[in-house]
């Protein structure tokens, strides 16, 4: 991709949004003059090229003010996560559906279609599924979060078909290991059973240790989102959604890795206490996907769980 003048990132103050902004500032897509960092709190990156805009994408007037004709690419990461979406239906729909529509409508008013990279989720799947889920498996979400993301995928496909945007929806695996405090995602424990023990804090695994999980590292996810921004969408052959690559692991695999990388004392800080409310949803999520299409399109995958744990240990926090 040639030089990029202006990039808009929603959810820019969050963990993944901040990482993406750091990569953009470092020149991952070419020269960036401005990042319009949109979130409900200020982006903390101290760089004169970052223009922090505080507000909610559920406010159509706010969105119309931040999506201007100078924007070249939109990365849409902002969302109400799975746990909060399940507990607060209206809040989830306002942000995850209406907010996405607000962004698409604002882009529609621009004189030419902009690349629109949307972070969706593998939670769009549900019901009986094979052990390895093909990308053409029926979308059948069983949570409010997955349902809202599925609706947003359809909107993105339609707005792309009409030429309003040039969109691609990236269905994310569970990202591990996230730094900081636990968030409202039902999968938050996946990071917690690594992050907390490494900090000397006890942690709880709320699902059986043999539960299959589809995960990827923050570094690989950031690389894949950047790749989605420069991928010629003609290569998608009209299928605007892509299941991003991950690796299939269990909590037991992760704890074995924790012990290999940090010793038995770290592993001993994790106890298993099944939580029926979490299990009801997380244990229904697919644990492995056929990522061959994504890999053919140039997306990348982590090599193994040890590399993911070591990546977290090595990164300054």
| Residue 302 forms part of a structural domain | no
Q: Using one digit for the tens of pLDDT, what is the confidence trace for 59-110?
A: 999 999 999 999 999 999 999 988 899 999 999 999 999 999 999 999 999 9
Say how far apart CA 212 and CA 248 lie, in whole Å: 6
Q: List C-alpha distances in Å: 86 to 6, 78, 132.
A: 35, 17, 26
Summarised one tens digit per residue, pLDDT across range 109-157 is: 999 999 999 999 999 998 888 999 998 899 999 999 999 999 999 999 9
In a domain, 227, yes or no: yes
Q: How confident is the model at residue 4 (pLDDT cuts 50, 70, 90)?
A: low
Query: Which is catalytic among the residues 145, 189, 285, 312?
Result: 145
In whole numbers, what is the pLDDT of the chain averaged over residues? Answer: 94
Q: What is the pLDDT of residues 171-222, one digit of tens each?
A: 999 999 988 877 777 888 999 999 999 999 999 999 999 999 999 999 999 9
For residue 315, being part of any structural domain is answered with: no
User: Domain with 10 in it: what CATH number?
Assistant: 3.40.50.720
In a domain, 160, yes or no: yes
Convert the pLDDT of each residue in 231-286 to its tens digit.
999 999 999 999 999 999 999 999 999 999 999 999 999 999 999 989 988 888 88
Residue 151 lies in a domain: yes
Q: For residue 145, indicate whether it is catalytic.
A: yes
Residue 200 CB coordination number (10 Å)? 9
Nearest in space to 16 (alpha carbons), one of 298, 242, 215, 221: 221
Specify the number of domains making up the chain.
1
**Three-class SS state of 175:** strand
Of residues 90, 81, 86, the one with CA closest to residue 119: 81
Domain hosting residue 130, numbered range? 6-173+217-243
Percent of the chain having pLDDT more than 70? 98
Is 279 inside a domain boundary? no
Looking at residue 281, its pLDDT comes to 84
pLDDT at 1 over 70: no
Average pLDDT over residues 157-172: 98
Residue 281: inside a domain: no
278 belongs to a structural domain: no
């Amino acid at each position: 991709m040639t030089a990029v003048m202006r990039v808009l990132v929603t959810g820019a103050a969050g963990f993944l949004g901040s990482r993406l902004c750091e990569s953009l500032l470092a020149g991952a897509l070419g020269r960036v003059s401005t990042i319009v960092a949109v979130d409900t709190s200020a982006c903390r990156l101290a760089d004169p090229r970052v223009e922090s805009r505080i507000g909610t994408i559920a406010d159509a007037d706010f969105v119309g003010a931040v999506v201007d004709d100078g924007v070249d690419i939109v990365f849409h990461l902002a969302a109400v996560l799975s746990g909060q979406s399940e507990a607060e239906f209206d809040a989830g729909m306002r942000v995850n559906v209406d907010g996405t529509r607000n962004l698409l409508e604002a882009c529609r008013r621009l004189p030419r279609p902009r690349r629109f990279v949307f972070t969706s989720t593998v939670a769009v799947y549900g019901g009986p599924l094979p052990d390895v889920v093909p990308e053409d498996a029926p979308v059948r979400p069983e949570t409010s979060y997955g349902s809202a993301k599925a609706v947003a995928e359809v909107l993105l496909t339609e707005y792309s078909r009409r030429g309003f945007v040039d969109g691609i929806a990236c269905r994310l695996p569970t990202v591990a290991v996230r730094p900081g405090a636990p968030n409202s995602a039902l999968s938050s424990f996946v990071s917690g059973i690594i992050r907390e023990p490494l900090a000397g804090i006890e942690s709880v695994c709320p699902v059986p240790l043999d539960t299959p999980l589809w995960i990827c590292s923050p570094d690989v996810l950031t690389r894949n989102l950047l790749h989605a921004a420069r991928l010629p969408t003609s290569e998608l052959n009209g299928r605007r959604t892509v299941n991003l690559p991950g690796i299939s692991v269990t909590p037991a695999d992760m704890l074995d890795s924790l012990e290999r990388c940090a010793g038995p004392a770290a592993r001993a800080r994790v106890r298993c206490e099944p939580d029926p409310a979490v299990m009801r949803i997380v244990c229904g999520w697919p644990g492995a996907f056929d990522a061959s299409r994504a890999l053919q399109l140039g997306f990348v995958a982590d090599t193994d769980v040890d590399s993911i744990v070591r990546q977290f240990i090595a990164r300054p926090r």
